[in-house]
């Protein structure tokens, strides 16, 4: 059975209308990880180290790629490229994770990393 890394957060909230306490939760759209990578990510005890292990794994499976950029009116890319850009989907994913974590930190969420 495959085990994947799950990055999620929760916080206690009070329902204004009733005054009842409830748990609010959210989850980051983590990439599917091989089971061996999941166990490696979960080896550290603290969340910060687990998040760093996840970041390291993402960057280990991605590399910079050069993509051609074509003119706006060259929809079918029939002409020559006007420039090239370096892209890295792993770097973009880590940036999204860091933005998500920063937002959660500002609003009182408790982040967890586990397997599911």
Residue entry with tokens 């929809």? 75
The two tokens of residue 94 are 């880590």
What is this structure's pTM?
Answer: 0.87
Helix (H) or strand (E) holding 83: strand 83-87
pLDDT 10s digits, 14-48: 999 999 999 999 999 999 999 999 999 999 999 99
46-72: pLDDT as tens digits? 999 999 999 999 999 999 999 999 999
Domain boundary assignment for the chain: 5-115
CA-nearest of 38, 18, 39, 26 to 110 is 26
Planar angle of CA 53, 110, 8, nearest 5 degrees: 60
DSSP H helical ranges for the chain:
35-42, 47-61, 89-106
31-66: string of b/e by CB count within 10 Å (b at 16+)?
Answer: bebeeebbebbbeeeebeebbebbbebbeeebeeee
């Amino acid at each position: 059975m495959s085990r994947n890394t799950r990055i999620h957060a929760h916080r206690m909230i009070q329902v204004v209308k009733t005054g009842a306490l409830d748990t609010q939760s959210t989850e980051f759209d983590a990439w599917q990880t091989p089971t061996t990578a999941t166990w490696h990510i979960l080896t550290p005890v603290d969340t910060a180290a687990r998040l760093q292990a996840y970041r390291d794994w993402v960057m280990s499976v991605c590399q910079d790629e050069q993509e051609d950029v074509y003119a706006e009116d060259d929809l079918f890319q029939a002409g020559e490229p006007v420039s090239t850009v370096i892209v890295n989907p792993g770097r973009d994913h880590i940036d999204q994770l860091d933005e998500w974590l920063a937002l959660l930190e500002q609003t009182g969420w408790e982040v967890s990393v586990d397997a599911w």
